[in-house]
Structure 1
Amino acid sequence: MFQYSNQNYEGVNFSTQDLRYGELISCTFNQCSFTNGSLEEITSSNCRFIECDFRGAMLNGSIHTESAFVNCSFNSANLFVSKFEDCKMTGSDFSGSNMDGITILQGDWSYTNLRHSRLVKQNLRYVKFHEADLSGANLEKADLRDCDLSMAIMANAKLQDADVRGADMKGVDFTTLTIKGMRMDKEQSVLFSLSHGAKVD
């Protein structure tokens, strides 16, 4: 157990360090590497990770509150039952990561790569996914109410029984979605109809 507070790190390689159960408070990490690192159950609050490499890192059970992970790579990282509360994740890549049991409470996940992510039954209400790549993602029975999904790439995403009422879905191509049982509001119904060539007066 350790605690780092108000520290700044630039280009540091943490890959070989055991960071399990640690606590990070108001720290900044710029272009640091955590590849294949042990960060199980680590907590961060008000931290900034900029262009950091978390490929293959073990982050299961970690908790992050009001932290920023900007343009970071989480390829093949283990995020099992991790929690991100009101975090800024813009531009980060989660391809191949294990997101089973993850908790995402609000926050900004714009421009993220979430292709083929498994987010079944997740409560994603109010999360910002502007221009995020959710193609092939499994969002069955997910709560996406009041999300910002504007311009999101959702080709072949599975949205059966998901709830998207109140979500901003401008620019989404509805023709590529699997939407059986999806709960929509009137505005989304119009967008859906228009994307299928209907003329709405």
Structure 2
Amino acid sequence: MFQYIDQHYNAVNYSGRDLRDGELIRCTFERCTFTNGSLEEITTSDCRFIECNFRGATLNGSIHSDSAFVNCSFVEANLFVSKFNNCKMTGSDFSNAQMDGITIFHGDWSYTNLRHTRFVKQDMRGIRFNEADLSEANLEKADLRDCDLTRAILAKAKLQGADLRGANLDGVDFKSFAVKGARMDREQAILFLRSHGAKID
């Protein structure tokens, strides 16, 4: 186990390194590479990762609180049962990442690539997904109440049993996914009907 506090790293290569069980507090990493690294059960608090590459890294069981991962790549990373508490993930790419059992509490996931991600039965209330790509994501029985899904891409997303009440769905293409079985409030129902050409008095 190791602990780094108030450190700043720029363009450091940690590829393939064993960083398990470490603790990072108020550290900043800019354009650092963690590809195929072992970061199981690592914890971060108030850290900033800017344009870092976590491709193929193992982060299962990791816990992140009030940290930022901006424009980072998590392509093919393992995030099994990881936790993100009030984190800023804007612009990050999660293509083909293993995200089963992930816990997301609040935070900003705007502009992220979450295509094909499995979020079945996840509690994701109040999270910002502004312009996030959730196409073909499995959101069955997910709690999406009060989320900001403004202009999010939900093409072919599975929403059976999902709760969308209170979520901001402005700019969402309702024609690109099925809403059967999803719970919606009155304002969302009006948006849905208007998107299909209905005139609402």
TM-score greater than 0.5 by the shorter chain: yes
Q: Which stretches of structure 1, 4 residues or more, deviate above 4 A after TM superposition?
A: none
Give the Cα separation in 2 of the matches to 1:12 and 1:101.
30
- Residue 192 of structure 1: aligned partner: 192
Q: Matched residues in 2 for 1:16 and 1:137: separation?
A: 30
Q: Which amino acid aligns with 1:68?
A: A
Counterparts of 1:120 and 1:197, CA distance in 2: 31
Structure 1 Cα separation of the partners of residues 36 and 18 of structure 2: 11
Q: Give the whole-Å Cα distance in 2 for the aligned partners of 1:93 and 1:16.
A: 20
Matched with 1:120 is 120
Residue of structure 1 equivalent to 2:107:
107
Asked if 1:13 corresponds to 2:13, the answer is yes
Please tell me the residue identity of whatever aligns with 2:200: V
Task: State whether residues 3 and 22 of structure 1, in contact with CA within 8 Å, keep that contact through their aligned partners in structure 2.
Answer: yes
Number of residue equivalences: 201
**Partner residue, 1:153:** 153
Distance 1:46 1:19 in 2: 18
- Partners of 1:16 and 1:87 lie apart in 2 by 25
Hey, what does 1:34 align to over in structure 2?
A: 34
* DSSP 3-state at the match of 1:189: helix
CA shift, 1:100, in A, is 0.1
Alpha-carbon shift at residue 179 of structure 1 (Å) = 1.7
Question: Where does structure 2 lack aligned partners over 5 or more consecutive residues?
Answer: none
- The match for 1:167 is 167
Structure 1, unaligned stretches of length 5 or more?
none
Shift of 1:15: 1.2
Give, in angstroms, the shift of residue 29 of structure 1.
0.1
Structure 1 residue 16 displacement after superposition: 2.9
Identity, % of aligned pairs? 71
**Superposition deviation, residue 176 in structure 1:** 1.4
